[in-house]
Structure 1
Amino acid sequence: MLVVSLSSCQTLSYYSQAVGGQIGVWRAAEPIDELLRDEETSPALRLRLELVSSIRSFAADELALPDDGSYRRYADLKRPYVLWNVFAAPELSLAPVTWCFPIAGCVGYRGYFSEDAAQRFAAGLRDKDLDVYVGGVAAYSTLGWFDDAVLNTFIDYRDTELARLIFHELAHRVAYAPGDTTFNESFATAVELEGVRRWLEDSGRSAEMAEFELARSRHQAFLDLVMRTRDELQAIYEADSPDEQKRLLKVDAYTRMREAYEDLKRDWGGYSGYDRWFAAPLNNAKLASVAAYNQLVPGFQRLLARNGGDLEAFYREVNALVKLPQEERRARLARVDGTGQRFAAGVPSG
């Protein structure tokens, strides 16, 4: 893993844009209750805000997610994304470049509230011969430091996607392991999936369950393709062969990945939901950005099942894992199965 250190001026500049960006979001946010009472609020926005309010109540009442000020305000930022994340990896390695911060710990990306700033930083990384990927972010969590707002960047998502996103971001306020991006994102993904299933059932929208499951199966097929390509590239990079040969094999691997995606689309009847992702150049950094969100989801799902679907008990066990060193945390989670052990206060129960 490559850790990039920055000069004090670069660090100060980065924190300055982060603080300024967060203040900008905060200033733009208006209480949803007031917007719903305002006669000038458009009918379309009113419907979405009413849906958000019902999703937010469900999250607190039925999913044991924080009942705080998050997602009680709405901000129109007048741009398509709230953040742009920059990912980087060496040319012949899948180990992501990481950056370390006081609150979040060491993470495999840097977020910018300005696309121009993100692209400038990315250009500097490319000058160091790194693979780089810049991706727009519709939502993010301040991990409880601020009340997160509903944003124009995601409010028009399909109902299930909107619920999924809110559940995911609220989950970050329940448990967070500094410096362990894969653990944090996998936990939030497990919560969002369980939350959407329960929300659809509770809302009497059983007809949408099949659509949701179809979307999940397509997403899983996409993830499987990414993981197969990662495994192939890992073998290439670890082989005892010249770098020039590795570069050629790398190009071949990404070509096969695109061909495999076209096969998937045919199996999906032409569904093209991932075309945009494949349209941009493929590289190690882009693969790392996907893997960080999903690798540990099955372990969390097994842990939830071990708790009989009791989310509050599940959250307690996850927070016990958070207290452990990363390697031990991962090992404990991997061992959870039908006969796996439970955790309490950071130690296995007898």
Structure 2
Amino acid sequence: MALSSGSSAIIVCVLTCSILLLPVMSESSCYTTIFSFGDSLADTGNYLLSGAASFPAVTFLPYGETSFHHPTGRFCNGRLIIDFMAEAYGHPLLPPYLATQGRGSERYAKGVNFAVAGATALNVSYFVERGILGLWTADSLSVQLGWFRKTLQSLCSESCHDYLKRALFVVGEIGGNDFNFAFIQGRKSIDEAVSYVPDVVGAIVEAVNVLIKQGAVELVVPGNLPIGCSTLYLTVFRSANTSDYDPQTGCLIKFNEFAVYYNSYLQDALQKLRKQQPHAKIIYADYYNSAMGFFKNPSKFGFESALKACCGEGEPYNFNLAHMCSAATSVCKDPSKYANWDGIHLTEKAYEWMAHGFVNGLFTHPSLKPPALGH
């Protein structure tokens, strides 16, 4: 294993909040703590520390090459959305939960990341019952909640309520893998995947509700990305029928329509939860429209390509499911010119654009607190 500890993932890199040019609120506008849950879009090292059995390539360069110059367990060339959010609020990058074990709580009092690459919102048994096998990890959302409860015991005792009300909870992105595994490995139809939506959303909403009952007040719940624009989907479900593709973006229409349906269902469920928990601020992060800008107008964001992977091999998208990004495949000279990193995950630059939109309130509803100037 290339990395044996989480020290490489715990890198303090504070970004001056004034760069974002946001107004100062009269109240304290920076969160004192950030807790993150999710999958590979947010994982800062838990999958790596658990062994990375299903995708050992993440233990080697070029993963992590841009910002860290070594692999950290992030499925990216550099930082993720959660990293940029932590920096914007003046926090160190969140350590992965598995790197905090046996360490003093002062080392992670500013936040912990429970996300694990390959994680699903639903437990593994749900997929096994439906013949969907080969999941990357059993560390589903419910497992991550258990880790949080264990962590909380060391961070606070009788004062947990005051501690948690000043924290930001980022619950996701989670749920995307529930459908990725169904479509890619289970070969399920869209109609069958649609039947899973209430269960997936139900698991996410229940997790948010549990956190609120434990004292969380401000929570971000992201929706799904436009999976019809994913290089993975474009390759696996490549079609000879031009009507299957959006002429503006080149993305697969039916999978984007599914993502829109799922996101709408999730937003409706979150709205119902807001009515049940009026004291909590439940924020929807619009990953779909935030990323869709890259695919509609890549040059606007400085991208030469939005659909083609920076790291990989194969035509026409530089992606081959049997030979994915690794030290043995080619890597583009400048990842900042690409929105897609390895055919499944986005580049640091794409995540930076998305995080900027979330912190500035462009794609968060209602908006996050703006970072205070002069941390």
TM-score by length of structure 1 reads: 0.27
TM-score by length of structure 2 reads: 0.26
Give the structure with the larger helix fraction: 1
The one of the two structures with greater contact order (alpha-carbon pairs below 8 A, sep at least 6) is 2
